[in-house]
Amino acid sequence: MSLPAAAVALLMTGPALPEGAGYVVEGQIVATDADLQPGTFIPVIIPMAAQVSAQSGLPAGPEAPAGQDSPSGSVQLPQTANPADSVPAQPPATQLPDGTAVAPPSAPAPGQPESEIVVTAPQPPPPGDPLERINVESFKAVQAVDKAVLEPVAKAYNKGLPRPVRQGLRNFFTNLSEPVVFVAYLLQLKPGKAAETAGRFAINTTLGVAGLVDVAKKKPFNLPYRPNGLANTLGYYGVGPGPFMYLPIVGPTTLRDIIGDTVDRLLLPAAVGKPFTNPEVVLPMTIVDQLGERAAFDERINKIREEDRPYAAYRELYLKQRQAEIDALHGRITPDVVPVYGPSMKTFDKNDQTKSPEDGAAPTGSDAPVESQPAPVQPEPAPTPEPVQIQPEPVPAN
């Protein structure tokens, strides 16, 4: 009896056996993988429905139907694994509440590192600046306009006007604020400082030619300018600054400062009346005052812009200066205060870096021109405000 055609084809074209596997007939190995290769013919009588299995432990083929017994002389052949069976099952897709199906991430290939998704929470705003995100955008917008418009005008102002003229204009506007300082000292129950402020105002208005020259700060008077106002008065009595804000036109401020400064600006027109109530007078004076302050702090502003975080640097300098002014009312000294606003405008001198132009400072030594080789005329740089020591108020003895 010849071998059926199907069995011959299976033996001639079948896959190679795994190492150590063989065909089994009646429980005995009749051929191994070394003896039996594809195309080898073995005259073994097997039926068409032979069960295939591997002695090496590979899974066996399907069982024979019920009622049919496999012949004792069956040949067991190894089965090849299906490549699709080795692919790991993918988890089911996740369905969002809105009905959108999201496919799960696929398993990484062998040897490839697993991808990681890092989720970081947004940083909370710093204490005292809950509107930081809005303030940063306002700061960027203001600085863009300032760099395009105000900075060139400020530089032209510094180059076009001599330093004594610029200092005189700032002294004039500072003198106009002395009545506000006087009232603030009265509200703080400091009659001695209020009297000094009134004397300073009278001296500079008369001897200082309407305040153009700060005569009161020199000998024999020795009455320096002390910043004060309603905002300082509120701080003196323990009112906190409130949230920090950076507003267009106004610049850096706090809730307490913007309320106090608004009242301060209304005090002089209400007390004096004309001409400080006429818009034709108030508007040009305000423009010249703000332009002079912007020109005085031109170099400081440019240094702040070079910081890694210019907005944060500007905020810290402003808040430190404001707190130093309030601490001075309590007799506490704050060292190394870098001013970013205010009437003080220090000028550079080789022998005295804090000497003002009205003190008669003149270049000496290598700065003086040589007769045989005249020094070329250079535009005067913008004066740079320097760190100041805010003079504390004496604490009255109890």
Longest CA–CA span in the chain (Å) reads 142
Question: In Å, what is the CA distance from 44 to each residue of 6, 11, 18, 40, 298?
Answer: 13, 11, 21, 12, 105
Which amino acid, 259?
A: I
CA distance 228 to 226: 6
> The tokens 């706090």 sit on which residue?
254
Which candidate, 252, 259, 390, places its Cα nearest to that of 316? 252
Residue ranges with strand state E in the chain = 22-25, 28-32, 94-95, 101-102, 244-247, 251-254
Low-confidence ranges of the chain (pLDDT < 70): 1-116, 118-121, 344-398
Which amino acid, 360?
A: G
Neighbours of 251 (CB within 10 A): 19
> The tokens 């001409």 sit on which residue?
275
> How confident is the model over 110-119, as pLDDT tens digits?
666 666 676 6
The answer to whether 252 touches 311, Cβ cutoff 8 Å, is no
The answer to whether 298 touches 154, Cβ cutoff 8 Å, is yes
**Residue 347: what pLDDT?**
34
**Residue 391: what pLDDT?**
55
> How confident is the model over 88-103, as pLDDT tens digits?
555 666 665 556 666 6
* One-character DSSP codes across 94-124: EE-TTS-EEPPPPPPPTTPPPP-----PPPP
Reduce the DSSP state of residue 357 to 3 states and report it: helix
Reduce the DSSP state of residue 388 to 3 states and report it: strand
**Residue 241: what pLDDT?**
95
The answer to whether 42 touches 23, Cβ cutoff 8 Å, is yes
Which candidate, 75, 21, 82, places its Cα nearest to that of 50? 75
Both tokens assigned to 53: 């299995």
Instruction: Give the long-range contacts of residues 36-44, CB within 8 A, separation 24 or more.
Output: 36/11, 38/12, 38/13, 38/14, 39/12, 39/13, 40/11, 40/12, 41/3, 41/8, 41/11, 41/12, 42/11, 43/3, 44/3, 44/73, 44/75
**Residue 396: what pLDDT?**
54
**Residue 359: what pLDDT?**
39
CA distance 201 to 205: 6
Q: What are phi and psi of 102, to 5 degrees?
A: -115, 120
**Residue 192: what pLDDT?**
95
pTM of the model: 0.59
Residues in a beta bridge with 29: 24
Which candidate, 378, 348, 304, 338, places its Cα nearest to that of 151? 304
Question: In Å, what is the CA distance from 336 to each residue of 232, 311, 389?
Answer: 20, 20, 7
CA distance 255 to 242: 5
CA distance 77 to 23: 6
Which amino acid, 223?
A: L
